[in-house]
Each structure stands twice: as C-alpha cells, then as structure tokens.
A and B are shown apart, each in its own frame.
Chain A
Amino acid sequence: MRQSELKTLALLAIAFATTVFSCKPKNVSTTTSGDAAQKVYVAPGKYDEFYNFVSGGFSGQMAVYGIPSGRLFKVIPVFSVDPEKGYGYSEETKPMLNTSHGFVPWDDLHHIALSETDGVHDGRWAFGNGNNTPRIARIDMKTFKTAEILEIPNSAGNHSSPFITENSEYVIAGTRFAVPMPDSDMDVPINTYKDNFKATVSLISVDKESGKMNIAFQILLPGVDFDLARAGKGKSHGWFFVSCYNTERANTLLEVNSTKNDKDFIMAVNWKKAEEYAKAGKGVKKSVNYAHNTYNDNTHSATSVMEKEVLMLDPKDCPDMIYFMPCPKNPHGCDTDPTGEYIVGSGKLAAVIPVFSFTKMLDAIDKKTFEGSYAGIPVLKYDAVLHGEVKKPGLGPLHTEFDANGNAYTSMFVSSEVVKWRISDLQVLDRVPTYYSVGHLSVPGGPTKKPWGKYLIAYNKITKDRYLPTGPELCQSAQLYDISGDKMKLLLDFPTIGEPHYAEAIPADMVSKNSVKFFKIEENKNPYVTMGEKEAKVERKGNEVHVYLTAIRSHLTPDNIEGVKLGDVVYFHVTNLEQDWDVPHGFAVKGANNAELLVMPGETQTLMWKPEKVGVYPIYCTDFCSALHQEMQGYIRISAPGKNVPLTFSTGTNQPKLEEDKF
C-alpha cells in the first residue's frame, strides 16, 4: 500500500470516528422550540399543507406523507410487488414489472422528480428511478398509481436519475456503473475496465399530454460513475449538469482507488445541442432490448412491449455538446439554484462546497479556457467557472436545496447537520443538527424556479436512540424543520418506509383537486369486465375456468361455483360495481399462491389460481366495506378430474334445505 493510500485510509478513519462522536445531541430540549408541537399539529379532520412524495429506497416503492404532520397517507407500489394491493400479482399488473431479464419483483428507488411547466410544479406526474435493473417509472398524481415503467438499455446502476427539465421535456437518467456495451463483446475481463467499460446518459422524452416516455437518445461517455444530476432552469435551460466520481476509472476497492484525484467533475451537457445532433442524424442506432410497460386506466391493465432500438450520440461526433468542470472531491449532489445561474457541487470528501457560475461557464467555453481534456472531452479551468467556495461548511456535504430568498441548505452527512448559507456571498448563516447522518433534503419546490419554502425535511440514514428500539433494524426517519425565519428550527421526527432518499413536496391543493375518486364503470374496457350482475358467469375454455365475478356491498356474484376440476386454472375476473369514493373491495381465495386483489370502484382485476387439492374453498371480500362485510363470502368447489360435476354458478339460490323445512 502506497503512502497516499494510507493517508486516505487514515482520513476516512478519522471521518468515521467523527461521525460517531459528533452525532450525540447535547440536549433534546435545546433542539426543538417551544411551539414545535403547535406547528406540526394538524387537527383531526384537517388537511396538511403539502404532499411529500418520498422515495422508498430499497423497498422499491414511493411513499406519500403529509407535511407538516409527517402522517403517512399511502405507499404507491412502483418497482416492487405489493401483495396488499395485488400489484405484480394480478394478471393486469404483472406486465408492469416485466424487463429484458423477465419478471423482476423488486428494485431500489432513490430519487423523485415531479413534473414541471415553466420550471414550476404542475402536479401531474412523479417520476422515480429503479437503480438495480435500470428503469424509470412515472406515477400519475391523479390516481396515485404507477402509470408507466421504462427500462433503460445500455445502463447499470441507474442512480443519476430521474432529473427533469423545466417543461418536462426530458427526464435524465445516468449510469452509476460503467459496463461493457451490448454491441461489443460483453464477456471481457473486469480489469479491462479502462478500455471496455462505458457510461451513458439517457434523455427520455415525456409527451406533453399523456406523459408517455420514450428514450429520445443516449450519450456514450467514458466509464466514470455518474452520481446525481440537475437540469438547468431559466438562463441555463437547455443544459443539464451531472456529478461524476471515479474519474480514476477504478474497478476494484473504489473506497480507495476512486478517491485519488483531488478533483472529479461536474459534467455539463448542452441538451438542446444534443437534440439538434440527434435530429441531424449524428447518432447511431443501436440494437438493444428493453421493456416498455404502460398501464391503461380504461382497461385497468398493463401491457409490456419489448423495444429494440435506441439512438446513441458519441461526443466525438458531436463537438461543443459536453464539458467537464473540475469539482473537489468525489462529488455527490449537483444542484442548480432557482435562478439557474448557480450549480452547487458537493464533494463528499471535500472541505469546501464549490459553487459554479453558469455565466462564467459559458464565458469559459467561449474563450476556450480549458485546462486539458478527459477522454476527448474538454475540461474547463476550475477558477474560470467558479462563483466561489463555501468555506468550512461542515463535514461530508451531500445535497443542496433552495428557498426563494437566495439561500441554500446543504446536508452534511459526516457532521450530521444542515447548513444554511447565502448564495451571493457564500456566507454560512445557520446550522442545525440532524439525528443522524443526513442524506437528502427537501424544501417544497426546492429544485424548481419557485420554491414554496416554509419547511425543510431531512432524510436520515441513521436513527439510533431516536425511537424505541425494534431489534437490530431500527426505523427509518425524516426530520422536519421550520425555515420560515432566520434560524432553522427542528419541529418533528417522523418514521418513513424503506430507506428514504430524495423527495419532493408540493402544495396540497395542486394535487388534491385532481384526485380521482372512482373509475367510471361505463368506461371500463377490461376485456374481462362484468357489466352488472346479469353478466356474471363462469366459462370453461379447455382447462381454463374464467369466473366473471362482481362485487358490490355486500355480496359476490356468483358466490357458489361448482364443476371446477383439479388441474384447471381458475381466473377470477373481479369487477367492483361500486361507483362511490373509498369503497374498494378485496378478493381472496384460500391457498392461492399469490396474493389478494384490491379492486377500486369501477375496476376489474384478475387473480389466477391453480387449485392443488380437491375440496370446497372459501372466497371473500378482504376490505371492510359495509356492515355486512363479514357476509360477503362464497365458495368454489374443486372436484377430482374424473368426477362428473357440471359447471354451475349462482348467487342467492341453491340454498340448503333445513330439516325443519321438510314438513
């Protein structure tokens, strides 16, 4: 081990030691102000001011909380199956989780991007990334359902995504892991990384009306790790910025080997120029295979289509499209302020927070103030693009959010604090502790041109001693701060699902007014819909038995089914006939090897069941729907293949005779 490596290790050791010793609060009573309880109290029956859409990390889902109360409203299933909602279990939703690797029931969702119009939230869609099997999901904020999942080819570790441009023209998705590209030999020694491994950034177009995503083009890049990104806004609209680490291009022990360079990069991409190159035919069509899954609110079904082609731009054919700005050291966050002038890099191992100026960057590009090039891409001079550095901000800067008054808020992972500083003169104004090891931050509207401000939410990595212990795995947590005054004030701790990474918050009325209450039964185009009880039936097709079943308070039709044989595959197509808000019906059958269905009013969902034994199986509604919910039940009889039981179904007839009725 070389001297420099030892030094790095020693530094890391000190950093870790600091974490442990600095994270103990002095006294909780000194950290919350007297009126904190009043500020977060949302009286029973009253509504919160903001929705907070929070990544669920390794749960693969997206959670929705109210701010300032911290109350959890909903977990939206996105990349992971959810037996509670039948997501990934019903025949209609299984295609949502299809990929080029087949059905993938899990992922790791890190970042949220809410759709914008003119750089301001428009309350239409929330995007989330799947890190592990690279995908981008679009959630419809009217239904709080996952509307679309697009797999990203030529990608691995889809971490630097999704980040959105100011009119939702594009969602940006960058790779964390460089990998061999599919059009070359993919079976190469790992230590040929520097020669064979490439990174990519994808620009995913978003249809203005439908929101439908498509990969407009990808950019082929040297094999660095992309970490986070932001689109420009206002004056910098047309550009986006991506933090890059591992410019050493190490393929092993990155903890040491990717921390050798004093500076890595913020990559600046002129996407308007890239768009022109793509239109001018500068790209090369690459043969790929990736899944594009969409959910239709009329058929209440998902379809998965395998796409076969993607357009790839290579910077060597596209001059003046990409520049690197040196950034100390292993940068993580890369955030643009509301004016679009300043780009804040956060070097995890840096002692300062560098703030870059977009105007200076353009000037440096114009004057070709380069210090060299990296893999053929010009590297601008640090001093030429720098607005300035925030000195001694704390240890381990990660992410920065903004308010509407020219202030920035940066999370400090190692020293467990949030630091407020002024962008114009880079002065630190205030600091508050977090408990502990804060990661992402969210200010309502913080990444947009119009921060709504008022609150800041910190998403922590460590919570030890903050909550009652729950064994080795402790609860995940966020903390709410009041930022309406000069000093930040801690108001509330609240637990979260999964591990929370990035989140966005949006004024409640921008979303609540559009919320769908039920699906109109007349518009239900599911091929297996049952339009009223009169249509309820059971049909045999070979060894498939299709049960067209309706649910309404408080009975299932049919609720007595006979004539199904062992070896048959039964499909329960459950239509919820209700047309009222808040009346889903659940459906379950004993012994089913998948999950329940949770059918919204006016929806049809299908549960496939392969009975394994002869017998009579109960079916019932699982979601307490009415006073007679417990009566909402029935039976399906499974007979031996040789037994002559005709296929019959009924509701309300076929009652057994009581002994006393016989005379």
Chain B
Amino acid sequence: MKSIKNVTLKTLAVLAGVIVFYACGSSEQKKEETTDSKTLVKEAEEVKAEDNSKGVGKFTHVDVSPTLDKQMADAGKKIYDVKCSACHRLTDEKLVGPGWKNVTKTRTAEWIMNFATNPDEMLDTDAIAQGLLEECLVRMPNQGLSDDDARHVYEFMRENDGVK
C-alpha cells in the first residue's frame, strides 16, 4: 500500500463504492459518465472561482507577463514530456488526471504551481484538489519539480492555452 496511506477513511469508502464504475480513462467511455465527471469538475471550479484560490504552498505571488516567454514554455514542454504527459493530455480530455486545456484560465498560477510542487499537502487540505481526487481516484504524485520547473510548466500551459 503506497499512495493510499494518506487517503482518509471517508475517501476510501467513496473509492470502494465507485472504483468499479469510474474509469478515469479513455475518450471512449460512455457519454453519461463523461458528463458526470465534467459536472464534478465544474462544481469544484465554481467553489474556487469565487475566491481565486492560490492553494497551499510556497507560491504566494507569481509575476505573469501578458505575453508568452517562449524559452520558459519550451523548457516546460520538455518537463511535461517526461514527467506529466503520462497522465495529462493537452486537450480537455481526462486521462489519469484532467486535461490541461484552459487550466490557466480557471486556476491561478500560484494554485497550479503549488499543486505541482506540493501535491500531498494540497490533496490533504485544498478543496479543489480534493474534488479532483474524488473524480480521478489517483493521488497526483510528487514528480520532484523544482520551483523553476513549475514556473516553466506553467508557461507551457499558457502556451497551450493560446498565449502568444
């Protein structure tokens, strides 16, 4: 038992109930299910959209230019290929975790970078992160991103969301 150890009993109970039916999986899953999970994401987003949460972690303020830093985005893509792409698509399709399309429009830079570098604490305390866990049922692993790595990946997400 590895990543399960931090999951609360309550989550385990939920998990036991839904694990069979929830395939955090391919695009070919049934339409109904997709709708369900989308609704969940939406609910979580609504909670967060109100307070513009920065999440929990060391990032309290990130300077973001209106234009893209191409060099940072390229560095971010390299990290994405090795450490993120196994679970996150660049479209809005959910694989293991949610697709990244429009993530920079619905979450703050701080929230994203805190989640990327501090996933365990976020999953234990942050409402949005917990909502996503209930949907995906796999705790996002700590992939050992440095602060710079996280910033670069964020820039790559912006590029993916159309920032020039």
| A interface, CB within 8 angstroms of B | 518, 520-522, 531-535, 550, 552-555, 557, 577-583, 623-628, 652-653, 655
Given contacts A531-B81, A532-B81, A625-B3, contact A577 B86 (CB under 8 A): yes
Within 8 A of A (CB), among B53-97: 81-83, 85-87, 95-96
Residues B141 and A580 in contact, CB atoms below 8 Å apart: yes
Known: A554-B96, A628-B24. A532 touches B138 (CB 8 A): no
CB within 8 Å for A578 and B141 given contacts A553-B96, A554-B96: yes
Chain A residues with CB under 8 Å of B95's CB are: 652
On whether the beta carbons of B86 and A555 are closer than 8 Å, the reply is yes
Are A553 and B141 in touch, CB under 8 angstroms? Answer: yes
- Determine whether the beta carbon of B138 is less than 8 Å from that of A580: no
Interface class of chain B by DSSP: loop
**How far is B133's CA from A463's CA once the two chains are assembled, in angstroms?**
51
Q: Which residues of B contact A555 (CB under 8 A)?
A: 86, 96
Q: B residues near A, CB below 8 A? A: 1-4, 7, 15, 19, 24-26, 28, 81-83, 85-87, 95-96, 137-139, 141-145
Q: What is the minimal beta-carbon distance from A633 to any residue of chain B, in angstroms?
A: 13
Q: What CA separation (Å) do A531 and B85 show in the bound complex?
A: 11
Given A533-B86, A555-B86, A579-B83, A518 contacting B144 (CB threshold 8 A)? yes
- Chain A positions within 8 Å of B28 at CB level: 655
- Complex Cα spacing A554 to B138, Å: 8
Across the interface, B83 reaches (CB within 8 A) one of A521, A535, A557, A581, namely A521
Give the CA-CA distance A652 to B25 in the complex, in Å: 8
Instruction: Considering the complex, give the chain B residue whose CB is closest to the CB of A520.
Output: B144
Q: A579-B142, A583-B141, A652-B25 are in contact. Are A625 and B2 (CB under 8 A)?
A: yes
Given contact pairs A583-B3, A624-B1, A627-B4, A532 touches B141 in the complex (Cβ within 8 A): no
Given A531-B82, A580-B143, A583-B2, 15 additional A-B pairs, CB 8 A: A534-B85, A535-B81, A553-B87, A553-B138, A555-B86, A555-B96, A578-B141, A579-B142, A579-B144, A582-B2, A624-B1, A626-B3, A626-B139, A627-B7, A627-B137
Q: Which of A533, A623, A624, A628 contacts B85 (CB 8 A)?
A: A533
Give every chain B residue within 8 A of A535 (Cβ-Cβ).
81
* Complex contact B15–A580 (CB within 8 A): no
- Does A578 lie within 8 Å of B143, measured CB to CB? yes
In Å, the complex CA distance between A222 and B100 comes to 74
Nearest chain A CB to B7's CB is how many angstroms away?
8
Max count, chain B CB within 10 A of own CB: residue among A522, A552, A582, A624: A552
Provide the residues of chain B in CB contact with A521, threshold 8 Å. Answer: 82-83, 144
**B residues near A623, Cβ cutoff 8 Å:** 2
B139 surroundings in chain A (CB, below 8 A): 553, 626
Whether B142 lies near A627 (C-beta < 8 A) is: no
Q: Which of A552, A553, A580, A624 contacts B144 (CB 8 A)?
A: A580
Nearest-Cβ distance from residue A58 to partner chain B, whole angstroms? 32
Nearest A residue to B140 by beta-carbon distance?
A: A553
Closest to A579 in B: B144
- How many residue pairs bridge A and B at CB < 8 Å? 80
Give the nearest-CB partner of A630 in chain B.
Answer: B19
**Most interface-central of A534, A580, A625, A655 (chain B CB within 10 A):** A580
A555 to B87, CA, bound (A): 9
Cβ-closest chain A residue relative to B137 = A627
| B87, A552: Cβ atoms closer than 8 Å | yes
A533, B95: Cα distance in complex, Å: 13
**3 closest residue pairs by CB, A with B:** A579-B144, A532-B82, A532-B81
Of B86, B141, B143, B145, which is within 8 A of A557 by CB?
B86
Q: How far is the CB of B11 from chain A (nearest CB, A)?
A: 9
CB distance from B6 to the nearest CB of A (A): 11
CB distance from A200 to the nearest CB of B (A): 47
Asked if B3 and A579 make an inter-chain contact with CB atoms under 8 angstroms apart, the answer reads: no
In the assembled complex, the CB of B117 is this many whole angstroms from the nearest CB of chain A, namely 11
> In the complex, A317→B22 CA distance in Å?
80
Q: How far is the CA of A624 from the CA of B3 in the complex (A)?
A: 9
Task: List 17 A-B pairs, Cβ < 8 Å.
Answer: A518-B144, A532-B82, A532-B86, A553-B141, A555-B96, A557-B86, A577-B83, A579-B141, A580-B143, A583-B141, A624-B1, A626-B2, A626-B138, A626-B139, A627-B137, A627-B138, A655-B28
When the two chains form the complex, which single residue of B85, B87, B142 contacts A580, counting CB atoms closer than 8 Å?
B142
Query: Chain A residue with minimal CB distance to B24?
Result: A628
**Residues from chain A with Cβ under 8 Å of B141 in the complex:** 552-553, 578-580, 583
B118 to chain A, nearest CB (A): 12
B81 contacts A534, C-beta separation under 8 Å: yes
Would you give the shortest CB distance from A46 to chain B, in whole angstroms?
Answer: 17
Q: Are A579 and B24 in contact (CB under 8 A)?
A: no
Residue among B15, B19, B26, B85 making CB contact with A652, cutoff 8 Å: B26
- The answer to whether A626 touches B144, judged by C-beta atoms less than 8 angstroms apart, is no
Residues of B within 8 A of A532 (CB): 81-83, 85-86
Bound together, the chains give a CA A134 to CA B143 distance in angstroms of: 42
Q: Which residues of B contact A531 (CB under 8 A)?
A: 81-82
Tell me if B86 and A552 are in contact (CB < 8 A): yes
CA A652 to CA B145, docked complex, whole Å: 26
A522→B148 CA distance, assembly (Å): 15
Write out the residue numbers on chain B whose beta carbons fall within 8 Å of the beta carbon of A583.
2-3, 141
Collect the chain B residues with CB atoms within 8 Å of residue A557's CB.
86
Chain A nearest Cβ from B27, distance in angstroms = 8
Chain A residues with CB under 8 A of B142: 579-581
Shortest Cβ distance from residue A650 to the other chain B in the assembled complex, whole angstroms: 11
B59 to chain A, nearest CB (A): 19
Complex: chain A residue closest to B82, CB-CB: A532
Shortest Cβ distance from B89 into A: residue: A652
Closest to B4 in A: A627
The answer to whether B86 and A627 have CB atoms under 8 Å apart is: no
Tell me which residues across on chain B come within 8 A of A580, comparing CB atoms: 141-144
Could you tell me the distance in whole angstroms from the C-beta of A552 to the nearest C-beta in chain B?
Answer: 4
A577 to B84, CA, bound (A): 9
CA distance A358 to B4 in the complex (A): 59
CB of B21 to closest CB in A, whole Å: 13
Question: Smallest Cβ distance from A518 to chain B, in angstroms?
Answer: 7
A-chain residues with CB within 8 Å of residue B87 when the two chains form the complex = 552-553
Please report the C-alpha to C-alpha distance between residue A120 and residue B2 in the assembled complex, in whole angstroms: 37
Rounded to whole Å, the gap between the CB of B115 and the closest CB of chain A is 14
Q: Report yes or no: B82 in contact with A522, Cβ–Cβ below 8 A.
A: yes
Q: Are B3 and A553 in contact (CB under 8 A)?
A: yes
Nearest CB in chain A: distance from B40 CB, A: 17
A552 to B4, CA, bound (A): 15
Closest to B22 in A: A628
In Å, the complex CA distance between A532 and B82 comes to: 4
Asked whether B86 lies within 8 Å of A579 as measured between CB atoms, the reply is: no
Residues of B within 8 A of A655 (CB): 26, 28
CB distance from A423 to the nearest CB of B (A): 49
Most chain A beta carbons < 10 A, residue from B28, B83, B96, B144: B144
- Given the complex, which residues of B lie within 8 Å of A534, measured CB to CB? 81, 85
Contacts of B25 in A (CB 8 A): 652
